[in-house]
Chain A
């Protein structure tokens, strides 16, 4: 399964380092979606580069190992999920399945429900007796 990764990489601020950081991604057939250089943020001769890329999930450990060997430090890494979400105004919040945030007051609550896809989201929404649903 293809996943979208958002990573902050720390590189030496010398020519050729960016290529060294991106090559492992390219080698496993990953797709670089975007790169941002934080040139103003140089600490001890190192800069931070933010990279977003798509990759097969099973290839991620290979990329991380290659980056480690290339002396590129992975400062932060995470999956960017394009999850479906909707917000409901409800009276009963006994069902907590799929709730990503909730704000309650008195008898009422505003809840946000998330799911991987539209179908799953609709299935979860059906589990609630809601007063109003958000316009997406």
Chain B
């Protein structure tokens, strides 16, 4: 079995470690790519990345980019680059890999949220798998469970706390009575928030996840998955304190009812969605089986990587 990996950040490194050196033949990051048909030594690759900031320092055949890496033959293409909306490089890589007849497993939300049906079409024509459990809910594999629910119980609405960074910030603001700006800086220092945390704080990350659920689980059309989005930047510690006294937590909640929305919501304390810190929560309102609830680690390198590995094993039936 031959595997190619794009992205060698927190998720990509964990995926590579779980894979082992024998199967990983090519790796790329933003600076370039390396290829060795005999397999890439993951621990030395990790050390070189730490020391020199890129995988291209690894002693193997050097290639310019993921695009060139995809010219080699492989069974699976693992796409673990960060979600970006300002370019469609990940979409083009996935599209190329599927067109070449490779199975694709990704944790990148943008290409799935914005091009799912198009990519599914290519995968179907080529008889390969396109799997993306890692895009929503990290290690919970909620998409697979939700799809099974949808086929029997019929999901009529969905409510989810889907962004660990926002939930960490809101929880800490309330617990410690700290202002937003302070907690945000702290979250960056601890690695819970990106240097540019806009995707998280402005609700874009949650909106992309919601679009994936609406399409993958509920089979909504692309046109009907426009999301009304409001983030958490306007919430003050005083507002959270008052909500707390009245028996509510404030959470950034993604909702799928007739339409899709992302907004801060008042959640009664003890409610399924009243999760703490970086945890995720999902509530499915079904026609035949009532409310079904799930909680779990929604982010984190090893949790997300574990979902990618499970997808890969499913694709290869191993």
A124 to B266, CA, bound (A): 18
Chain A contacts with B in 59-106, Cβ cutoff 8 A: 87-89, 91, 103-106
**B interface: dominant SS:** mixed
Answer whether residue A133 sits at the interface, using C-beta atoms and an 8 A cutoff: yes
Assess whether A105 is in contact with B242, with CB atoms less than 8 Å apart.
yes
Assess whether A89 is in contact with B243, with CB atoms less than 8 Å apart.
yes
Residues in B whose Cβ lies below 8 Å from that of A110:
242-243, 246, 248, 266
A14 to B242, CA, bound (A): 54
Assess whether B266 is in contact with A134, with CB atoms less than 8 Å apart.
yes
Answer whether residue B264 sits at the interface, using C-beta atoms and an 8 A cutoff: yes
Residue in contact with B234 in the complex, picked from A87, A104, A131, A135, CB distance below 8 Å: A131
Assess whether B238 is in contact with A107, with CB atoms less than 8 Å apart.
yes
A105 to B239, CA, bound (A): 9
Residue in contact with A105 in the complex, picked from B159, B245, B248, B271, CB distance below 8 Å: B245
Residues in B whose Cβ lies below 8 Å from that of A132:
235, 239, 243, 250, 263-266
A105 and B265 contact, Cβ closer than 8 Å, known pairs A89-B243, A89-B250, A135-B253? no
A89 and B245 contact, Cβ closer than 8 Å, known pairs A107-B238, A131-B234? no
Assess whether B242 is in contact with A133, with CB atoms less than 8 Å apart.
no
Residues in A whose Cβ lies below 8 Å from that of B235:
131-132
Assess whether A109 is in contact with B265, with CB atoms less than 8 Å apart.
no
A131 to B180, CA, bound (A): 15
Answer whether residue B268 sits at the interface, using C-beta atoms and an 8 A cutoff: yes
Assess whether B239 is in contact with A108, with CB atoms less than 8 Å apart.
yes
A104 to B250, CA, bound (A): 16
Q: How far is the CB of B33 from chain A (nearest CB, A)?
A: 45
Q: Which residues of B come within 8 Å of A, CB atoms?
A: 159, 234-236, 238-239, 241-243, 245-246, 248, 250, 253, 263-268, 271, 273
Q: A88-B266, A89-B266, A132-B266 are in contact. List 20 more A-B contacts (CB 8 A).
A: A87-B248, A89-B239, A89-B242, A89-B243, A89-B248, A91-B239, A105-B242, A106-B238, A106-B242, A108-B242, A109-B242, A110-B248, A131-B234, A131-B250, A132-B235, A132-B250, A132-B265, A133-B265, A134-B266, A135-B266
Q: Which residues of A come within 8 Å of B, CB atoms?
A: 87-89, 91, 103-110, 131-135
Q: Across chains A and B, which 9 residue pairs bring their CB atoms closest together, nearest first?
A: A134-B266, A132-B264, A110-B246, A108-B239, A105-B242, A108-B242, A132-B266, A135-B265, A132-B250
